[in-house]
Amino acid sequence: GAVVSQHPSRVICKSGTSVKIECRSLDFQATTMFWYRQFPKKSLMLMATSNEGSKATYEQGVEKDKFLINHASLTLSTLTVTSAHPEDSSFYICSARDHRTYNEQFFGPGTRLTVL
Amino acid sequence: AQKVTQAQTEISVVEKEDVTLDCVYETRDTTYYLFWYKQPPSGELVFLIRRNSFDEQNEISGRYSWNFQKSTSSFNFTITASQVVDSAVYFCAFVGGGGSNYKLTFGKGTLLTVNP
């Protein structure tokens, strides 16, 4: 099956710093990747849709300048949390759509961000 | 707008009991896909099943079975003879519009605890 990796799996940073999270599709090309955020004991909230070679589409209420998304290749999308604050602490999950299987989204293992 | 409701926030059972997780969805789309995912404590989402709106056949996979009823807009998930390893959060999810927008709408999840 299709494999999606995320790096890092855990990151702890100081308030005010920026953190970059990578999402890679390892054995397929992903024209579309999605970034989700999940608070403890809560559901997944879609933050943005990332299309290769174009600007990401952000969901309502998600700050574009805060959460920078880049999808420079068919196998890599990055999410940068800029000037992180404690309220940005969360579990971030990416998924990648396999164009061969139309509606199938494959999820990465997630990145747990803690901002001190 | 699409909506997925998982009315059961938490369920606790004793090992070997059968348990059914409910999922009700709302949509005006005639073509759509429904999913179930498992999220163990590690956080990684595990894909369990995808069902399209034209296929109302129930599905069985080992101890897992799914009951799709379009008439009641429900897609319930039953675990037979539950095991401790089944303990996880289970999410029901929806993709509408023929899947063309590819966006997954998740329910709030049901935390299943299987006690020995």
How far is residue A86's CA from residue A45's CA, in Å, rounded to a whole number?
18
Give the pLDDT band of residue B99 (cuts 50, 70, 90). low
Shortest Cα–Cα distance, A111 to chain B (Å) = 9
Report the alpha-carbon angle A101-A106-A108, nearest 5: 160
Contact check, Cβ <8 Å, B104/A34? yes
Question: Residue B49 burial (CB < 10 Å; 0-12/13-18/19+)?
Answer: middle
User: Are B35 and B94 a contacting pair, CB within 8 Å?
Assistant: yes
CB < 8 Å from A in window 62-101 of B: 91, 95, 99
Contact check, Cβ <8 Å, B44/A104? no
- % of chain B exceeding 70 in pLDDT: 97
CA B1 to chain centre: 19
What is the predicted pLDDT for the residue at B1? Answer: 75
Q: Would you call B59 helix, strand, or coil by DSSP?
A: strand
A45-55 tens-digit pLDDT? 999 999 888 88
How far is residue A21's CA from residue A70's CA, in Å, rounded to a whole number?
10
What is the H or E stretch that residue B89 is in? strand B88-95
pLDDT at A21 over 90: yes
Six token digits for residue A102: 């139309």
Hunting for tokens 């379009």 — which residue is that? B70
Contact check, Cβ <8 Å, B45/A41? no
Kindly state the DSSP code that residue B32 receives in the 8-state scheme.
-
Tell me which chain A residue has its CA closest to the CA of residue B40.
A109
Rg (CA), chain A: 13
Nearest beta carbon to residue A107 from set B45, B50, B95: B45
Kindly state the DSSP code that residue A99 receives in the 8-state scheme.
G
Give the pLDDT band of residue A41 (cuts 50, 70, 90). confident
A115, A72, A71, A60: which is closest to A91 by C-alpha?
Answer: A115
User: Are A86 and A15 a contacting pair, CB within 8 Å?
Assistant: yes
The region of weakest confidence among A63-67, B76-80, B97-101 is B97-101
What is the predicted pLDDT for the residue at B112? Answer: 98
Shortest Cα–Cα distance, B59 to chain A (Å) = 18
B29-76 tens-digit pLDDT? 888 999 999 999 989 999 999 898 988 888 899 999 999 999 999 999
